[in-house]
Structures are given as structure tokens and as C-alpha cells.
């Protein structure tokens, strides 16, 4: 099992090693795909082993994977696969057009691999100090991808991203120190006082005042990474300026690392404080995020920023689900994490076709996409329907589960308010997307995004695979996935 853990983390580095050896976009992209597929395969095998053994542990808890960690590993490793295919096609097209130099391509794949490996390692440790280090490492690796194009706006977005995210992660470090202090009255070693499953087992003995501060600071600190309002200001800039496959990784994978940390802190806080305080904090930040995301969706002018604000909305929905609590709330939150990851990966990857074809990211300048590029625009429209919460896609099922949890566990007003915000978000997102894909074929020249057959195939694989998985998730939850979800809930309950 430890071998599976190592493979999950190490295999994504293949693309970076190829780039380091001087490979161009095609060879480096192929190595990234190979590493991503291998990592996902190892993650599935690891999840299957966890189903029988409940957890894998070594090195005093510095390596620790339970069902929750295995679940996030499967989700993020699958996104890495989709983004690897998208990166191979997108970077080859940009290099062929002279938009990116060979050095920039190698830089991309080098840091793409570090980014993927760092995120996957987050879910492989039970030590909250090491978890903090790994989340900060993934932040630093992804900054290079945001500023890769070297333009004024992308460099500004990269600086904004690293400053705000690092400030948030610093707050998360303070939260970790308060948690360490909260356990000072418990007979644990210094390492055990930062090992989350020891803290969970002794949660009733943690100092309430310190634990209250630790949880609040964790939600603010890691919530900055997640993009919870009002800490979300870095997210639209970074997502809109990064290359589209990197945007897919940021939105569909990176945000989940912060949410994973919040879920762990919530599990520790409930035995010490009861459910009322943690759930109230999550409901406050969750509803604020949904509101802010929806309001910015109403008048979005840049379609990549529009998809980024949709991520703010969805992260808020997940926080609300955690705040609703109970098995149903946690189940809905975890299902939403998977469905959002699939939908947002497809949205950003398909938006890459528009960026390459129309050479703009402005909503008003993209018209008639269904006529100009039927496949990519059709996928974009379907993915928008899925992300907006339309049946039969997986997000409809997860949001329905979350609303049911609200009506079951809290006052009816809160789930009713969530429904109202979801309707506004649905209309706003589809209004922007339909405006881009509908209408007559544009009079301006639309370039062929991927002129080569192999490039078109590489670019199509993640769109078909991600959209198919999102649709399947809305119709059928496989028994293995359901079992892993239930085991994950038990791991933090």
C-alpha cells in the first residue's frame, strides 16, 4: 500500500522530468499524460485497499491515508489526467503559433508536474503541520503557471495570487499553532498534537477557547485558498489569466486542497465545541460566498472570470453543505466536490478552444461558436448546463442532496435561500454561455484551435471523458464510489 502512495505522488513528475531533459511540448505532454494516468490508476488501487483496511499509516502519522484522503486523491488525480491531455494539446498549439517559447513550454510542464504532485501529497499525510507545508508548496508551484504568458495582466494576477494566498496560508499556520496549543493539556507527544487522528480521538479534551480560535482562523486561512468570500479576490484574476488547462487545475483541483483541510479541522472542532459553532461559521462564509459568486456572475464580461466566479459559488455551496451537517450534508458536500471538479475541468478546457480560436476572453466578442466550432461549443454549453445544476448531470444530484440536508437539519429559511441563489446563478451562467455559442457564424476570422489531427484528439479526450463522467454521476453512483463516500463520512464523524 505504501508503494501505491508513492506512485500516486511521484508519477505526475514524469512530465516535469521530460521537460527538464529538454523535451518539447509533444514529448513533455505525452510524459505528463502517462504520469497522470499512472497516478490515477494507483489512486484507485489505493482507494480499493483503504476500503478493506480503513487506513494506511507510516512514519508516526506523517504518512496517513484514510477513506477521506483516498476519496480526494481519486478526484484530484482524475483532474490531473484531464488537465494533462488538455495541456499536451494546448501547449503544442501555442508553441506552434509562436505564442509560447520552448522555454515557457518546459517551464509549464515542470511546474505543472510539481503542482500536481504537491496537491496529491496533501491528502497523504495525517500531520497538520506537513499538510500546511504541502498546501503552500502547491501554491508556489501554481503561481508560475498563472504568470506563464509573461504579459502585464498575467504577471499582475500571479503577484496578486501569491500575496493573497500566502497571507491566507499564514493565517492557516496560526490556526495550526492554536490547535497545537489547544492540545497542550492532553497527554500527547509534540508530533501527536499535530496529528489529526490523535486530535480527533482526544477532541473532547481540547481547550475550547483555543479550539474556537483555531477553527475560525482555519476557515479564514484555508478559505482563502478555497476562494470563500470575502477572501476570493485573487481567484478570478488567476483563473482568467492562466493557460486554460492550468485554470482547470486551479478550479477543479487546487480549491479542493483547502476544503479538505477545513473538513479535517471541522472534524476536530466538533468534539471540542459541539456542532453549533463550526456549522455557524461555515454557514456564514458559505452563504456569503454563494451570494458574492452569483452577483458577479450576473454581469461577467470575461468568460474565464465568469467560470471562476462560478467556482466561488460552488465552494460556498460545499461550505453550506458542511454547515447543514449530518450524514446527508456531508454526503452532498463530498458529491458536490467531485461533480464540481468534473464540470469545471471541462468548462475551462473547452474555453481553451475559444481562447485559441477567437483570441479573446471577452464574452461580448464571442458569438456563433456553435457554427464556428460545433464540438467545443457544444461541450461548453452542456458543461455549463451541468455546472449550473441542470439534470441529468451530477451537480443537480449533489445540490438536491444538500437542499434536502438543509430542510432536514436546519431552519427551512436557509435551504430556501440557497435555492433562490442557485436559480439566480443558473440563469446568469447560462445567459453568458448561450450568448457566446448561439447566433450566426461570426464575421471575424475564427482560427482553427487545433489544426493537427493528433492535437484535436488530445484536446477532445478530456472533454468527452469529463462530460461523460459528470453525466453518469447524475444518473448512477457506482457502489464502490458510494461505499468510499460513506467511509469518508465515518472518518470525520
- Asked whether the whole model's pTM tops 0.75, one would answer yes
| Residue 443 DSSP code | S
pLDDT recorded at residue 300: 85
Looking at residue 176, its pLDDT comes to: 97
Q: pLDDT of 386-408, one tens digit each?
A: 999 999 999 999 999 999 999 99
Number of domains the chain contains = 1
| Whole-angstrom distance, CA of residue 490 vs CA of residue 235 | 32
CA atoms within 13 A on the CB side of 342: 26
Nearest to residue 265, comparing CAs of 254, 251, 279, 252? 279
With 70 as the cut, is the pLDDT of residue 53 above it?
A: no
Of the pLDDT bands very low, low, confident and very high (cuts 50, 70, 90), residue 21 is confident
Where is 134: in which H helix or E strand? helix 128-146
Q: Burial letters for 251-272: b for 16+ Cβ neighbours within 10 Å, e otherwise?
A: bbbbbbbbbbbbbbbbbbbbbb
Residue-level pLDDT at 376 = 94
Q: Percent of the chain at pLDDT above 70?
A: 99
Q: For residue range 250-289, what is the model confidence (pLDDT) as tens digits?
A: 999 999 999 999 999 999 999 999 999 999 999 999 999 9
pLDDT at 279: 97
Lowest mean pLDDT among 92-106, 127-141, 252-266, 417-431: 92-106
pLDDT at residue number 52: 63
Q: Work out the average pLDDT over 231-252.
A: 93
Q: Is 385 helix (H, G, I), strand (E, B) or coil?
A: helix
Over residues 9-37, the mean pLDDT reads 91
From CA 309, how far away is CA 306, in angstroms rounded? 5
pLDDT > 90: what percent of the chain? 81
pLDDT tier at 2, thresholds 50, 70, 90? confident
Other residues' Cβ atoms within 10 Å of the Cβ of residue 476: 13
Q: What angle, 0 to 180 degrees and rounded to 10, lies between the N-to-C axes of helices 453-475 and 374-388? A: 30
Q: Which residues contact 98 (CB under 8 A, 6 or more apart)?
A: none
Residue-wise burial string across 33-48, b where 16 or more C-beta atoms lie within 10 A, e elsewhere: bbbbbbbbbbbbebbe
- pLDDT tens column, 346-396: 999 999 999 999 888 998 889 899 988 999 999 999 999 999 999 999 999
Q: Where are the alpha helices (DSSP H) in 192-325?
A: 196-201, 208-226, 234-241, 244-249, 255-273, 276-298, 303-324
Write out the residue range of the structural domain in which residue 161 sits: 2-491
Mean of pLDDT over the chain: 93
464 pLDDT above the threshold of 90: yes
| Top-confidence residue, 9 or 150 | 9
Angstrom distance (rounded) from CA 47 to CA 70? 5
Q: How many residues does the chain have?
A: 493
Residue 145 has pLDDT above 90, yes or no: yes
pLDDT at 1: 73
Q: pLDDT class for 127, splitting at 50, 70, 90?
A: very high
Given this model, what pLDDT does residue 408 score?
95
Q: Is residue 439 pLDDT above 90, yes or no?
A: no
Amino acid at each position: 500500500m505504501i508503494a501505491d502512495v508513492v506512485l500516486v505522488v511521484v508519477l505526475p513528475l514524469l512530465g516535469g522530468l521530460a521537460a527538464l531533459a529538454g523535451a518539447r511540448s509533444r514529448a513533455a505532454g505525452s510524459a505528463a499524460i502517462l504520469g497522470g494516468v499512472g497516478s490515477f490508476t494507483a489512486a484507485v488501487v489505493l482507494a480499493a485497499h483503504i476500503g478493506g483496511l480503513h487506513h494506511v499509516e507510516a512514519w508516526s502519522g506523517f504518512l496517513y491515508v484514510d477513506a477521506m484522503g483516498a476519496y480526494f486523491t481519486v478526484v484530484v488525480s482524475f483532474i490531473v489526467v484531464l488537465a494533462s491531455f488538455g495541456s499536451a494539446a494546448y501547449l503544442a498549439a501555442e508553441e506552434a503559433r509562436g505564442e509560447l517559447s520552448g522555454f515557457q513550454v518546459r517551464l509549464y510542464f515542470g511546474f505543472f508536474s510539481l503542482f500536481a504532485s504537491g496537491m496529491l501529497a496533501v491528502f497523504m499525510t495525517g500531520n497538520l503541520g506537513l499538510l500546511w507545508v504541502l498546501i503552500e508548496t502547491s501554491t508556489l508551484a501554481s503561481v508560475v503557471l498563472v504568470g506563464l504568458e509573461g504579459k502585464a495582466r498575467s504577471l499582475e494576477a500571479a503577484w496578486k495570487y501569491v500575496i493573497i494566498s500566502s497571507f491566507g496560508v499564514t493565517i492557516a499556520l496560526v490556526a495550526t499553532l492554536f490547535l497545537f496549543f489547544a492540545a497542550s493539556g492532553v497527554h500527547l507527544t509534540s508530533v501527536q498534537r499535530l496529528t489529526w487522528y490523535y486530535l480527533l480521538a482526544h477532541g473532547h479534551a481540547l481547550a475550547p477557547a483555543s479550539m474556537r480560535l483555531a477553527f475560525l482562523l482555519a476557515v479564514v486561512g484555508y478559505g482563502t485558498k478555497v476562494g470563500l468570500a470575502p477572501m476570493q479576490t485573487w481567484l478570478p484574476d488567476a483563473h482568467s489569466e492562466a493557460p486554460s488547462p492550468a485554470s482547470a487545475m486551479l478550479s477543479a483541483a487546487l480549491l479542493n486542497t483547502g476544503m479538505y483541510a477545513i473538513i479535517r479541522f471541522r472534524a476536530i472542532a466538533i468534539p471540542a465545541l459541539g456542532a453549533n459553532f463550526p456549522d455557524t461559521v461555515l454557514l456564514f462564509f458559505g452563504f456569503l460566498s454563494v451570494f458574492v459568486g452569483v452577483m458577479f456572475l450576473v454581469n461577467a464580461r470575461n468568460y474565464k472570470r465568469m467560470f471562476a466566479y462560478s467556482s466561488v459559488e460552488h465552494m460556498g455551496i460545499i461550505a453550506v453543505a458542511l454547515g447543514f451537517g449530518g450524514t446527508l450534508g456531508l454526503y452532498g458536500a463530498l458529491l458536490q466536490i467531485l461533480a464540481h471538479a468534473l464540470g469545471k475541468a471541462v468548462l475551462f478546457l473547452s474555453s481553451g478552444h475559444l481562447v485559441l480560436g477567437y483570441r479573446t476572453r471577452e464574452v461580448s466578442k464571442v458569438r456563433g461558436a456553435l457554427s464556428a466550432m460545433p464540438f467545443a461549443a457544444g461541450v461548453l454549453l452542456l458543461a455549463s448546463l451541468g455546472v449550473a445544476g441542470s439534470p441529468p448531470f451530477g451537480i443537480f444530484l449533489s445540490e438536491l442532496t444538500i437542499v434536502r440536508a438543509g430542510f432536514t437539519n436546519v431552519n427551512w429559511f436557509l435551504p430556501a435561500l440557497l435555492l433562490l441563489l442557485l436559480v439566480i446563478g443558473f440563469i446568469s451562467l447560462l445567459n453568458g454561455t448561450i450568448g457566446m455559442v448561439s447566433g450566426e457564424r461570426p464575421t471575424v476570422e475564427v482560427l482553427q484551435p487545433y489544426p493537427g489531427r493528433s492535437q484535436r484528439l488530445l484536446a477532445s479526450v478530456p472533454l468527452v471523458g469529463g462530460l461523460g463522467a459528470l453525466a453518469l454521476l447524475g444518473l448512477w453512483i457506482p457502489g464502490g464510489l458510494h461505499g468510499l463516500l460513506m467511509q469518508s463520512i465515518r472518518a470525520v464523524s
